[in-house]
Amino acid sequence: MPMRKRIIAGNWKMHKTLTEGLELVEMLKAGYEPDGYYEVVVHPPYTLLSPVSKALEESEIRLGAQNVFYEDRGAYTGEISPVMLKDIGVEYVIVGHSERRKYFHEDNETVLKKVKAVLRHGMKPILCVGETLEERESGKAREVVARQISILKEIPVGDMEDIIIAYEPVWAIGTGKTATPELAQEMHAFIRDTIEKMFNREIAINVPILYGGSVKPGNVYDLTSEDDIDGALVGGASLDADSFLAIIKNAARKII
């Protein structure tokens, strides 16, 4: 059985000017030593995607976007289509991040449309799921995550090989709080079990599930050592080259 894909992705969010972003990419390129285990992806803001794409042409670091609109073209002022992303070399797209759900009121229906749009154009969606602190404390964490994952029922079986899931407990994003490896593993295992019930065991085993939420060089090894944690979606720590390179280096290499 082939080993499922492992990914370390850096989400720059709304940070970095053109000069700063290209400087960060050059530092990452200089320090990155690919070993064939993890695929490394950077997700700059829209304004940097094209220049970063050019800067990564001779690199094994992949390019991702932070968001996408679900129509290919039209009168949608301010939006960026999957056609535009594909055209400049984007391979991965973050979809349904909790900040999109919170600040821009994206619901499951919208997220599903975006997942389908990304797949339609041969890119890989990183579907973000996760509960708030209130939802966890009220015992609804699994219910919330299961509801967010349920949109995958609408995805053809053949497309599931391109789906990546990122479990990001909302209470751990940008707060400095990190789910313990045991707590994270428990939710990752639940996600995999849920996918198995929706599809089958083979699909569930092969879907990469990343952890996100205050990932740092000092905690990434313990997190990625867990059986069902296949990498990390890194926020603030991906904005510093030394920090992000240390995360890549420190992430556990394991055999399933």
What positions carry a catalytic annotation? 97, 168
- C-alpha 161/C-alpha 157 separation (Å) is 8
Measuring CA to CA, which residue among 121, 110, 132, 130 is closest to residue 211?
130
Measuring CA to CA, which residue among 61, 39, 64 is closest to residue 49?
64
DSSP 78-103: T---HHHHHHTT--EEEES-HHHHHH
Measuring CA to CA, which residue among 189, 182, 172 is closest to residue 228?
189
The amino acid at 172: A
* List of E strands, 103-184: 124-129, 164-167
CB atoms within 10 A of CB 134: 10
SS3 content of the chain, % helix, strand, coil (to 5): 45, 15, 40
CB 232 within 8 A of CB 9: yes
The tokens for 187 are 């939710």
For residue 6, the cross-strand partners are 38
176 DSSP assignment: S
- C-alpha 93/C-alpha 143 separation (Å) is 25
Q: What are phi and psi of 49, to 5 degrees?
A: -60, -45
